[in-house]
């Protein structure tokens, strides 16, 4: 029986992706240290999902977050920060986690057929220093799992789960966000 599973939620969101993309490119971007050679709105605008024109997207994301928290028994979460990254051929995301967040998300606005997958690293790897495997194609031996992005897909994952991408072989635009417990910041009225 597998103990201590790491839940990653995968959802498809039906929304006008062209409209979302047109709204995103209105935001300022700059280089970001985690994104080799690409640009991000991180640090430029603290929460693009507060844009009134993106309210329907935010609402759909919150429904998925609610489904995730119901499944995992987490307390209610609220989106506390959001930004977007636009990646071109050769760009990559270096290995990182999302500090100061409970649950993080990646919503893929625009992905072409050559886009590289996101790679989630096994958090148990440091503790398995003496394990020698005959086959690494097992959930018990795997050091990482890759998930191919699709336009309109959302991945939700624990913020402590380290992830990265290899050098981009296509182009993509992704909205990333972080969450905290709603009870910490929002009083019930």
Q: Above 70 in pLDDT, residue 112?
A: yes
Q: Under CATH, what is the fold of the domain 14-124+142-185?
A: Jelly Rolls (2.60.120)
Residue 36 pLDDT greater than 70, yes or no:
no
Mean pLDDT to the nearest integer, 159-184: 95
Contact between 13 and 101 (Cβ < 8 Å): no
Phi, psi of 10 (to 5 degrees): -120, 125
CA quadruple 174, 180, 186, 189: dihedral sign: positive
Mean pLDDT across 66-79: 97
| C-alpha separations of 92 from 6, 107, 172, 176 in Å | 24, 17, 11, 15
Supply the pLDDT for residue 184. 82
- What residue spans of the chain are helical by DSSP H? 17-24, 55-72, 182-185
Contact (Cβ atoms closer than 8 angstroms) between residue 182 and residue 66? no
pLDDT at position 187: 59
Range from 1-5, 40-44, 132-136, 167-171 carrying the lowest mean pLDDT? 40-44
Domain residue extents for the chain: 14-124+142-185
Question: CA dist 23 to 6, 40, 64, 89, Å?
Answer: 33, 14, 22, 22
- How far apart CA 166 and CA 121 sit, in angstroms, is 13
Instruction: Decide if pLDDT at 26 tops 60.
Output: yes
Tell which wins on pLDDT, 30 or 133: 133
Whether the pLDDT of residue 43 is over 90: the answer is no
Q: How large a percentage of the chain has pLDDT more than 70?
A: 93
> If you average pLDDT over residues 52-78, what whole number do you get?
97
Q: Is 130 helix (H, G, I), strand (E, B) or coil?
A: coil
Question: Residue range 87-94: average pLDDT?
Answer: 91
Residue 34 has pLDDT above 90, yes or no: no
Residue 62's pLDDT is: 98
Q: Is the pLDDT of residue 48 over 70?
A: yes
Taking residues 18-35, report their average pLDDT: 84
The answer for residues whose C-beta is within 8 angstroms of residue 4's C-beta and 6 or more apart is: none
Residue 33: count other Cβ atoms within 10 Å of its Cβ: 9
Average confidence (pLDDT) over 134-162: 93
* Chain mean pLDDT for the chain: 91
């Amino acid at each position: 029986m597998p103990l201590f599973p790491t839940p990653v939620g995968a959802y498809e969101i039906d929304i006008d992706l062209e409209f979302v993309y047109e709204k995103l490119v209105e935001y300022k971007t700059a280089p970001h240290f985690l994104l080799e050679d690409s640009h991000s709105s991180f640090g430029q605008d603290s929460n693009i999902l507060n844009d009134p024109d993106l309210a329907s997207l935010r609402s759909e994301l919150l429904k998925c977050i609610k489904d995730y928290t119901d499944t995992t028994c987490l307390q209610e979460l609220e989106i506390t920060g959001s930004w977007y990254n636009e990646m071109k051929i050769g760009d990559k995301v270096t290995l990182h986690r999302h500090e100061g967040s409970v649950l993080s998300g990646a919503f893929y606005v625009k992905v072409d057929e050559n886009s590289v997958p996101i790679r989630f690293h096994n958090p148990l790897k440091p503790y398995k220093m003496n394990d020698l495997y005959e086959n690494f194609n097992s959930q018990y031996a795997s050091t990482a799992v890759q998930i191919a992005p699709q336009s309109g897909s959302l991945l939700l994952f624990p913020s402590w789960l380290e992830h990265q991408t290899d050098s981009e072989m296509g182009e993509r635009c992704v909205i990333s966000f972080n969450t905290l417990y709603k009870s910490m910041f929002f009083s019930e009225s």
